[in-house]
């Protein structure tokens, strides 16, 4: 039996999965009865109706000028009807050149009526099904894609491993040269105003919260680890957090408390990996010690987290008015097993170098440490989708253990938008509707060979709308195997 086969999700019962957790000596626990997920969550002056949420998951399905399109409205409506009381809206660029793909949403004056319609229709769908939307919280994630901006890489610092797999030209595989210019301090100072203006616009059209995205190695996350950068935004911790500190302060002065401040952070960036040519298993790109790159990394052993600075960042964010925190890790581009434990590798990925349960445990452990250190902030946990029908049992346990405040899924919600209704009304998750972590949604997100420069992303095994899209993107004439 290969390592890949041994790492498959084979569990039929909670007893099955508990055996593997015990064998791997992990701290993942499950509850048989669901009670805590039904409990409301207090967030400032608001109360969420339950403890379940949806992570920001892009559909890459907007118009070329950054407005929601037909599939965007459909996806958000399905989330509204799904019963989770926290909808953490998807990555939305604050300026057009910050988009990760040409169909990513952009928040700007011309797009506000369309974004407002998307928000209003989502609330109406929720109210129509549940009688009220007063206990529903909807936010928008404000982003700058940095080195992954599709028009050209916009980098905060050079990273000797990441630079070797960041392409200036995806066709020729031309990588970032050592003399490639960094974004300037003046650029970052202007960008602060773009984030503030975007937050003001989000408050104007009625979003409940704004998330300043500091995760998944996009620009604001890269700034947190920019130890080798010179100038006002690099080097020591105060400089590396200058951007986020300035933006939060300016938002508060502009909008007061009319909108809740939130952030999704990387508590551990990890190191870049590559696919071994013989085994297809992911291996770290060689690095030197002490390791000077990334955030939340032990410089003497970068394959492990060091939460000293992430915990310091959370305190800073809290002091600056952030009330809602979403804890994530890794990069979807070069160490995807950290952020999204998976069954099948994505088209641009590798086979997992660890059992996915180890990745789940890492998520739970790190979020738990942050919640323990800061019990007065609402922490949203990540890393659940690979657990399939048992994710809600693990989330229930984490809630009871006070490791998190809200259980949320991203891929899991794309596959199964009404998971919260089933969990709350029936006390269990339907195994025939769950995400099976085969990475087709990521494959679609990586596909750009059409007239719009990007295929929309969704759950191919669970949502028939995306089957013909997947066939076209893959150039196949058969339905993908959902087993």
Query: Alpha-carbon distance 189 to 121, whole Å?
Result: 35
Band (480; pLDDT cuts 50, 70, 90): very low
In tens, the pLDDT along 147-172 reads 999 999 999 999 999 999 999 987 78
Angle, vertex CA 350, rays to CA 431 and CA 277, nearest 5: 145
- Looking at residue 483, what is its pLDDT? 29
- Looking at residue 218, what is its pLDDT? 98
Query: CB-based contacts of 181: which residues, under 8 Å, 6+ apart?
Result: none
Closest CA to 247 of 312, 308, 310, 317: 317
In tens, the pLDDT along 14-70 reads 999 999 999 999 999 999 999 999 999 999 999 999 999 999 999 999 999 999 999
In tens, the pLDDT along 387-434 reads 999 999 999 999 999 999 999 999 999 999 999 999 999 999 999 999
Query: CB-based contacts of 59: which residues, under 8 Å, 6+ apart?
Result: 71, 72, 75, 90, 456, 457, 458
Q: In this structure, what is the dihedral angle of CA atoms 447, 448, 454, 457, given to the nearest 10 degrees?
A: 0
Query: Alpha-carbon distance 77 to 160, whole Å?
Result: 43
Q: Of all residues in the chain, what percent carry a pLDDT higher than 90? A: 94
In tens, the pLDDT along 228-261 reads 999 999 999 999 999 999 999 999 999 999 999 9
Angle, vertex CA 274, rays to CA 273 and CA 275, nearest 5: 130
Closest CA to 415 of 396, 398, 436, 399: 436
Q: In this structure, what is the dihedral angle of CA atoms 229, 99, 160, 169, given to the nearest 10 degrees?
A: -130
> What's this model's pTM, rounded to 2 decimal places?
0.96
- Looking at residue 173, what is its pLDDT? 85
Instruction: List, in sequence order, every beta strand (DSSP E) within 223-356.
Output: 260-268, 273-275, 282-284, 322-329
- For residue 171, CA distances in Å to 167, 349, 449, 473 come to 9, 17, 12, 17
- Looking at residue 1, what is its pLDDT? 37
Q: How many other CB atoms are found less than 10 A from the CB of residue 108? A: 19
Band (213; pLDDT cuts 50, 70, 90): very high
- Long-range contacts (CB closer than 8 Å, 24 or more residues apart) made by 282-285: 282/335, 282/337, 282/349, 282/350, 282/351, 282/352, 282/353, 283/350, 283/353, 285/161, 285/164, 285/165, 285/334
Peptide bond between residue 290 and the one before it cis (omega within 30 degrees of 0): yes
Which CATH class name applies to 3-437? Answer: alpha beta
- Looking at residue 2, what is its pLDDT? 44
**Cα–chain center distance at 419:** 18
Residue 3 has pLDDT above 80, yes or no: no
Query: Alpha-carbon distance 475 to 480, whole Å?
Result: 12
- Looking at residue 6, what is its pLDDT? 60
- Higher pLDDT pick, 225 / 449: 225
Band (477; pLDDT cuts 50, 70, 90): very low
Q: Which two tokens stand for residue 351?
A: 């086979």
Q: What is the mean pLDDT of the chain?
A: 95
- Looking at residue 7, what is its pLDDT? 72
- Looking at residue 169, what is its pLDDT? 83
Q: Which of 6-20, 133-147, 307-321 has the lowest mean pLDDT?
A: 6-20
- Looking at residue 475, what is its pLDDT? 86
Identify the H or E element spanning 379.
strand 378-381
In tens, the pLDDT along 320-348 reads 999 999 999 999 999 999 999 999 999 99
Q: What is the CA radius of gyration of the chain?
A: 21
């Amino acid at each position: 039996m290969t390592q890949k086969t041994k790492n498959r999700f084979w569990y039929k019962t909670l007893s099955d999965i508990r055996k593997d957790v015990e064998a791997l000596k992990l701290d993942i626990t499950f509850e048989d009865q669901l009670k805590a997920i039904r409990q409301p969550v207090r967030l400032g002056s608001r109360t969420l109706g339950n403890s379940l949420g949806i992570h920001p998951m892009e559909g890459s399905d907007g118009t070329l000028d950054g407005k929601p399109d037909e599939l965007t409205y459909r996806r958000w409506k399905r989330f509204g009807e799904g019963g989770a009381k926290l909808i953490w809206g998807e990555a939305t660029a604050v300026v057009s050149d910050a988009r990760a793909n040409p169909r990513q949403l952009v928040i700007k004056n011309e797009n506000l009526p369309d974004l407002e319609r998307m928000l209003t229709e989502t609330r109406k769908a929720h109210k129509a099904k549940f009688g009220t939307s007063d206990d529903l919280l909807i936010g928008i994630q404000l982003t700058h894609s940095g080195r992954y901006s599709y028009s050209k890489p916009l980098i905060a610092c050079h990273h000797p491993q990441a630079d070797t797999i960041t392409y200036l030209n995806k066709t020729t595989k031309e990588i970032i040269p050592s003399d490639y210019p960094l974004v300037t301090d003046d650029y970052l100072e202007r960008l602060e105003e773009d984030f503030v203006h975007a937050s003001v616009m989000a408050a104007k059209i009625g979003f409940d919260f704004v998330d300043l995205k500091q995760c998944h190695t996009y620009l604001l996350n890269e700034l947190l680890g920019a130890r080798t950068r010179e100038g006002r935004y690099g080097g020591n911790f105060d400089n590396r957090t200058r951007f986020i500190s300035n933006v939060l302060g300016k938002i508060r002065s502009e909008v007061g408390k009319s909108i809740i401040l939130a952030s999704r952070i990387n508590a551990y960036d990890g190191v870049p990996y590559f696919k071994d040519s013989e085994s297809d298993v992911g291996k770290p790109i060689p690095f030197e010690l002490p390791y000077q790159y990334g955030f939340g990394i032990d410089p003497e052993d970068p394959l492990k987290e060091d939460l000293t600075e992430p915990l310091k960042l959370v305190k800073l964010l809290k002091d600056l008015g952030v009330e809602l925190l979403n804890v994530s890790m890794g990069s979807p581009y070069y160490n995807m097993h950290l952020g999204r434990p998976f069954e099948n590798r994505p088209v641009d990925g590798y086979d997992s170098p660890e059992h996915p349960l180890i990745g789940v445990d890492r998520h739970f452990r790190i979020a738990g440490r942050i919640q323990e250190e800061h019990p007065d902030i609402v922490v949203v946990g990540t890393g659940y989708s690979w657990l399939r029908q048992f994710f809600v049992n693990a989330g229930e346990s984490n809630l009871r253990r006070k490791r998190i405040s809200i259980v949320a899924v991203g891929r899991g919600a794309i596959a199964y938008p009404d998971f919260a209704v089933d969990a709350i009304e029936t006390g269990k998750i339907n195994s025939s509707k769950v995400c099976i972590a085969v990475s087709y949604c990521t494959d679609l997100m990586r596909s750009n060979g059409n007239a719009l420069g990007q295929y929309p992303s969704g759950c191919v095994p669970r949502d028939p709308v995306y089957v013909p899209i997947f066939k076209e993107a893959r150039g196949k004439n058969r339905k993908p195997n959902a087993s």
